[in-house]
Amino acid sequence: MNKLFECKNLSKDFGGLTAVNKFSFDIEEGEIVSLIGPNGAGKTTFFNLVTGLYPPSSGMIMFKGEDLIGLSPYEITQLGIARTFQAVRLFPDMTILENAMVGQHCRSKSGILGAILRPRSYQEEEERIRNNAKEQLAFFGSRLMGFRLDQPAASLSYANRRRLEIARAMSTEAKLLLLDEPAAGMNPKETIEIARLIGKLRDERGFTILVIEHDMRVVKDVSDRVVAMDYGGKIAEGTYEQVATDEHVIEAYLGRTGIEE
């Protein structure tokens, strides 16, 4: 395997409060890595650092050999990192197809002038973007295809909104997907489906995946490796079995959420 992503001694302070503390790890191409930890451990802050929403206080972040620090979220997306959010962030009044097409914004070349004049090159690019979006939506079958394409995103069930957000991330032509609690709010059947979906994203579409997840059934089923955080730092790393039985991880969860299968 080739190293796709690496961070070293990554830290983020907010007014004297340390949210991420000298956090280091890497991801090999084709891996599925789960990032776990109690609420407030620093997991989503870490995602925000990787995707350029927050500047780090110190440390290094590399992706495909390129330094991400100082780049905008748009530039990081262009390089090949896409994410979903803890709270679903779609455009509710736009159609399902349009929401997926938004993911291609970072790849479009026509600009505002092209959108106004609509030359042949613009029309060809628009058709390519539309076809790419349909290809990503087709991965989810009838849940997002067929008559649903022209429905507003607001009409979807919660689980299908989660799927649409993943489809939009796929449409960016990413290499690394960051999934922030994809199983949150789902019932047991939907949770099983999302775990299978994460595996298919890697096995059938070739994505490398870093997932934040509290549901340990999902973590156990999908992970090649698990990294545990607490108080902004890494407290354990290894297979699911190794991390789930680590004394530091057990101590971090006791009296908080509990780590259960």
Q: What pLDDT does 109 receive?
A: 61
Residues paired with residue 179 on neighbouring β-strands, in sequence order: 211
Residue-wise pLDDT tens for the chain (261 aa)?
Answer: 699 999 999 999 998 899 999 999 999 999 999 999 999 999 999 999 999 999 999 999 999 999 999 999 999 999 999 999 988 889 999 999 999 999 887 666 665 555 555 667 667 888 999 999 999 999 999 999 999 999 999 999 999 999 999 999 999 999 999 999 999 989 999 999 999 999 999 999 999 999 999 999 999 999 999 999 999 999 999 999 999 999 999 999 875 544 544
Q: Which of 94, 122, 91, 95 is nearest to 108 (CA)?
A: 122
Contacts of 250 (CB under 8 A, 6+ apart): 259
C-alpha 257/C-alpha 243 separation (Å) is: 16
Distances (CA, A) of 68 to 7, 73, 81, 98: 10, 10, 10, 29
CATH among 3.40.630.10, 3.30.70.580, 3.40.50.720, 3.40.50.300 for 1-80+174-261: 3.40.50.300
Sheet-wide strand order for 17-28: 17-28, 3-14, 58-63, 66-67
Residues paired with residue 233 on neighbouring β-strands, in sequence order: 230
Helices (H), 103-226: 111-117, 120-138, 158-171, 188-203, 216-222
Contact 156, 93 (CB under 8 A): no
Contact 229, 25 (CB under 8 A): no
For the chain, residues classed under CATH 3.40.50.300 are: 1-80+174-261
Contact 83, 180 (CB under 8 A): yes
Q: What pLDDT does 261 receive?
A: 47
C-alpha 86/C-alpha 215 separation (Å) is: 14
Contact 226, 237 (CB under 8 A): yes
Helices (H), the chain: 43-50, 73-79, 96-102, 111-117, 120-138, 158-171, 188-203, 216-222, 240-244, 247-253
Q: What pLDDT does 118 receive?
A: 65
